[in-house]
Amino acid sequence: MFYREAGDFKTSYTDDSQTFPIKFDRYRYYVVLLVGLGVIPFLINDYWANSILIPFLIYAIAAIGLNILTGYCGQVSLGTGGFMAVGAFTSYKLMTAFPWMDMVTVTILSGAMTAMVGVAFGLPSLRIKGFYLAVATLAAQFFLVWMFNKVPWFFNYSASGQINAPERTLLGVAVTGPNAEAWVKYLFCFAFVFVLAWIARNLTRGSMGRQWMAIRDMDIAAEIIGVNPLRAKLMAFAVSSFYVGIAGSLLFTVYLGAVEVGSAYGIQKSFLVLFMIIIGGLGSIFGSFAGAAFMVLLPVLLRNLMDSTGLDSAIATHFEFVIVGALIMFFLIVEPHGLARLWALAKEKLRLWPFPH
């Protein structure tokens, strides 16, 4: 009815190859942007920013990053937590060494640093594949966390090994530190998510993304048709690590403010992001958002529901585990390809509605 290609005439090639070819999708996208930019910043309070929206946005970046590597290029990585730590510690060193530096520069440089580290750890991917590569990236995870724990230069020789984000500004407004307003932090993260998701979407639609997918689907065939595996795989590692590094940096500077590498960037963080893309959908930008929302928002929602039931808080917490676990199983049984596939099916049905055959 309202969701279809028919009647939406494209008169140029640019129109024809746009990201959202269907009018309804396009408007939905504008509405989301409008709400995200024009409504939420005016309504947001500390609780919504710090417990719900900022973690969702940050994990969405991390999920997009890992999805590029695992979902699009087919290289399994368990090093996400370690790469996030690289981003966080780079930010910390930059923020303390160059107090005049604005936060956008700090964040982008942190991503760039992580990209370099990612490429270094991506080199083995040229020789090993699948589970073996997963183990190699697992080594990256443990090595990086160990290094940030062990070398006191990274945490400026503080007594406890904790790093604290000092107050830093962008255009004179505090972005990090305790005095940063909720809406500033939100908009800062939103801007990064918007730009990075936009770039990711277009990268994966372009020749780079097609090379990655060729490698993912069959690397020998890809090589025969002229894809350079060295370049494609290392690019995937670099781009993915850049995203993950930015997510790690934002997690530290904007969201947590103080970080201990072992607990904030441990192996459980790698698994968390991996679960996000598996539940959201491998090889889908929308899936990254859906997965991040599922893993970040659902526990918070459940917690608030549980609180209102007046159950003993320990029992309520255990129930949360049970329910989240059951929901993950439910979704994976109903749709093994993730929430993105459910979304795609829904759109497919909408196209035919109200005359399904």
Residues near another protein (CB under 8 A):
42-48, 50-51, 55, 96, 149, 158-162, 164, 166-167, 177-179, 182, 255-258, 260, 262-264, 266, 300, 303-304, 307-308, 310, 313-314, 316-318
What minimum distance in Å lies between the beta carbon of 286 and another protein?
A: 25
State the minimum distance, in angstroms, from the CB of residue 96 to another protein.
Answer: 7
Q: CB nearer to another protein: give 20 or 47.
A: 47
CB of 52 to another protein, least distance (A): 9
Place of tokens 């982008």: 108
Backbone angles phi, psi at 259, to 5 degrees: -140, 145
- What CA–CA distance (Å, rounded) separates 240 from 103? 21
Provide the minimum distance between the beta carbon of 313 and another protein in the complex, in angstroms, as a whole number.
5
Which helix (H) or strand (E) segment is 264 a member of? helix 261-264
Nearer to another protein, 2 or 42 (CB): 42
**Cβ proximity of 267 and 78 under 8 Å:** yes
Of 133 and 295, nearer to another protein (C-beta) is 295
Q: In degrees, to the nearest 5, what angle opens at C-alpha 268 toward C-alphas 319 and 67? A: 105
Please state, in angstroms and rounded to a whole number, the distance separating the CA atoms of residues 227 and 248. 31
DSSP state of 10: -
Q: Which is nearer to another protein, 58 or 236 (CB)?
A: 58
For the CB of residue 317, give the shortest distance to another protein in the complex, in Å. Answer: 5
Q: How far apart are CA 79 and CA 65, in angstroms?
A: 12
> Residue 242 or residue 252: which is nearer to another protein going by CB?
252
CB of 98 to another protein, least distance (A): 13
In terms of Cα–Cα distance, which of 220, 250, 237, 195 is closest to 70? 237
User: How far is residue 3's CA from residue 23's CA, in Å, rounded to a whole number?
Assistant: 8
Of 35 and 346, which CB lies nearer to another protein in the complex structure? 35
